Chain A
Amino acid sequence: MTFAAGTIWIARLASLATAIAALELIVVHRAWSEQGVYAWSVVKRDYSPAGARVAGLVLSTPGTWLVLAVQLASALALPWLAQPVWPWLAFASTLAIAVRFRGTFNGGSDAMLLVVLLGLAVARSGAPEIGLGYTAAQLVLSYVLAGIAKLREPHWRDGTALAALVALPSYGVPAALIRWISRVSRAAGYALLAFECGFPIALVDPAACRVLLAIAALFHLGNAIVFGLNRFLWAWLAAFPALIVWVDRLR
C-alpha cells in the first residue's frame, strides 16, 4: 500500500470513528448539560477563575455544542476534502472533548483516536512518512505494552485472568457470554498474551502484518461485543493502514 492510499484509508476510517464519537455525545447531551452529571459549572472548578473563563468559551454547554459540531463536520469532511485543516480541526475538537471530560471520555479509545487524527493531520500537512510512522509506532506499542503489562500479572500467567475479567460486574457482560467465555478462557488468555507480545512480528513481513491485523480486528470486534468497547474497534481500525504502509515500505 502506498502512502497516498494509506492516507485515504486512514481518513475514511478516522471519519467513521470521529463521527461516532461526536454522535454518541450528542445522543447523551443531557449528561453534560447544566442539569446533568458533567455540568460545566462543576467541571470548571478544576480551573482557576481566569482559566475557567477562557476554557468556558469552548467547554461550557454552548461551547461543547460548538465543539461537537466542529468535530462532526470535520469528521465528515475527512474522506472528501484533502486539505490539512480538516484533520487538524478533528484533532483539536476531539482533544477539547477529552479535556471537557477531565482527560478522556472513553479512556484508551480517545487516546488512539487522537493519535490517528494527529498522524493524519501531519501526513496531510506534507509529511506523510512522519504522520503515518507516528501512528504505526503507537499502534505497535499499544499491543506490546499491553502484553508486557499483562505478563507481569500472576493471573494472566496462570491463565485465570480472562475468566475473572469478564465476570467483573463493572463491565456488565451478559451472563450467557460469561458462561461461554469461561469455557475457553484459559486458552484464549494465553492466545491473547502471545498475540500482544508477539505483535512486532508484523514489522518483518507484509503478509504477517496483514494476518496479525486481521486477528487484531477480530480481537477488537470481540471486545466491542463482550465488554461494550465499540469505540476501540473504530479507533484501532483507523490506525491499521499506517502500519501496512510502513511495513510495505520497509520491505
Chain B
Amino acid sequence: MKLQLLRALLPSWRFFDRVTQAPRLFVRNTGGEWQPIATPPRRAWSWAFSPRGNLALADQSAVEHLVADVDELDPSLDHDAPAITGLVSYQLVARIARAHAPAGRWQWKVVVDREGEVSDYLVSAELAAA
C-alpha cells in the first residue's frame, strides 16, 4: 500500500530520458513463431479519448514492473521458481498474455534489450489452451 501511494504521489517527472527498448511480451503456439502482443489500433479520436490505448500502456507498465521485481531476486532462479511465479506482477503479466493467447497450447515470454543485447528474460512453461 505504501509503495502504491508513493508511486502515485511522488512523481519523478522523468519522461523519455532513456532511449532503450522497454521489455516486451510475446506469445506463440507451442513450436510456432513468437509474436509481440498486439497494440490496439489508433482511432481518429485517440488523441483525446483512448481507453484501449491507455489499457495497453498499463499492460506495458505491468511488464516493466515484472522485470523490475525479478531483477531484485536471485538471478540463478529458474523461470518457474515459486519466488517468481508467486509475484503479483508475474500473475498480472501471465493474465495479459492469456488475453492475447493464440488457440491451442501456447507459451509467453518477456524479452529485454539491455545495452543492445536482446535476450529472453522469462519464458513460461507450455500452457493449456486459453
Q: Tell me the nearest residue of chain A to B47, going by C-beta.
A: A224
Q: Judge whether A141 is part of the interface by a CB distance below 8 angstroms.
A: yes
Q: With A145-B12, A170-B60, A230-B54 in contact, is A224–B48 under 8 Å at CB?
A: yes
Interchain nearest-CB distance for B75 vs A (Å):
24
Complex interface: chain B residues within 8 A of A101 (CB)? 58
- Chain B interface: which of A6-14, A24-32, A78-86, A209-217? A24-32
Interchain nearest-CB distance for A221 vs B (Å):
7
Q: How many residues of A contact B (CB 8 A)?
A: 63
Complex interface: chain B residues within 8 A of A152 (CB)? 17
Complex interface: chain B residues within 8 A of A142 (CB)? 11, 13
Q: Tell me the nearest residue of chain A to B22, going by C-beta.
A: A170
Give the docked Cα–Cα distance between A85 and B46 (Å).
32
Q: Judge whether A250 is part of the interface by a CB distance below 8 angstroms.
A: no
Residue of B9, B13, B95, B96 near A108 (CB, 8 A) is B13
Q: Judge whether B51 is part of the interface by a CB distance below 8 angstroms.
A: yes
Complex interface: chain B residues within 8 A of A112 (CB)? 11
- Is the pair B46, A230 in contact by a Cβ cutoff of 8 Å? yes
Q: Judge whether A172 is part of the interface by a CB distance below 8 angstroms.
A: yes
Interchain nearest-CB distance for A17 vs B (Å):
11
Give the docked Cα–Cα distance between A95 and B9 (Å).
8
Give the docked Cα–Cα distance between A54 and B20 (Å).
39
Interchain nearest-CB distance for A34 vs B (Å):
11
Complex interface: chain B residues within 8 A of A230 (CB)? 46-50, 53-54
- Chain B interface: which of A43-51, A69-77, A200-208? A43-51
Interchain nearest-CB distance for A217 vs B (Å):
13
Interchain nearest-CB distance for B123 vs A (Å):
19
Q: Judge whether B124 is part of the interface by a CB distance below 8 angstroms.
A: no
Residue of A37, A38, A107, A160 near B57 (CB, 8 A) is A107
- Is the pair A233, B99 in contact by a Cβ cutoff of 8 Å? no
Complex interface: chain A residues within 8 A of B56 (CB)? 172
- Is the pair B95, A165 in contact by a Cβ cutoff of 8 Å? no
- Is the pair A104, B7 in contact by a Cβ cutoff of 8 Å? yes
Q: Judge whether A4 is part of the interface by a CB distance below 8 angstroms.
A: no
- Is the pair B24, A169 in contact by a Cβ cutoff of 8 Å? yes
Give the docked Cα–Cα distance between A42 and B3 (Å).
17
Residue of A27, A55, A98 near B7 (CB, 8 A) is A98
Q: With A98-B8, A104-B61 in contact, is A228–B50 under 8 Å at CB?
A: yes
Q: Judge whether A1 is part of the interface by a CB distance below 8 angstroms.
A: no
Give the docked Cα–Cα distance between A116 and B9 (Å).
12
- Is the pair B14, A38 in contact by a Cβ cutoff of 8 Å? no
Q: Judge whether A114 is part of the interface by a CB distance below 8 angstroms.
A: yes
Complex interface: chain A residues within 8 A of B54 (CB)? 24, 28, 105-106, 228, 230-231
- Is the pair A106, B18 in contact by a Cβ cutoff of 8 Å? no
- Is the pair B57, A228 in contact by a Cβ cutoff of 8 Å? yes
Q: Tell me the nearest residue of chain B to A27, going by C-beta.
A: B51
Q: Tell me the nearest residue of chain A to B63, going by C-beta.
A: A170
Residue of A24, A46, A51, A225 near B88 (CB, 8 A) is A46
Q: Judge whether A161 is part of the interface by a CB distance below 8 angstroms.
A: yes
Q: Tell me the nearest residue of chain A to B38, going by C-beta.
A: A172
Complex interface: chain A residues within 8 A of B53 (CB)? 172, 228, 230
CB pairs A–B below 8 angstroms (26 shown): A24-B49, A28-B55, A31-B55, A38-B58, A42-B95, A43-B92, A47-B1, A51-B1, A99-B1, A102-B88, A104-B61, A108-B15, A114-B8, A146-B13, A152-B17, A161-B19, A165-B16, A168-B19, A168-B21, A221-B47, A224-B48, A228-B42, A228-B47, A228-B50, A230-B46, A230-B49
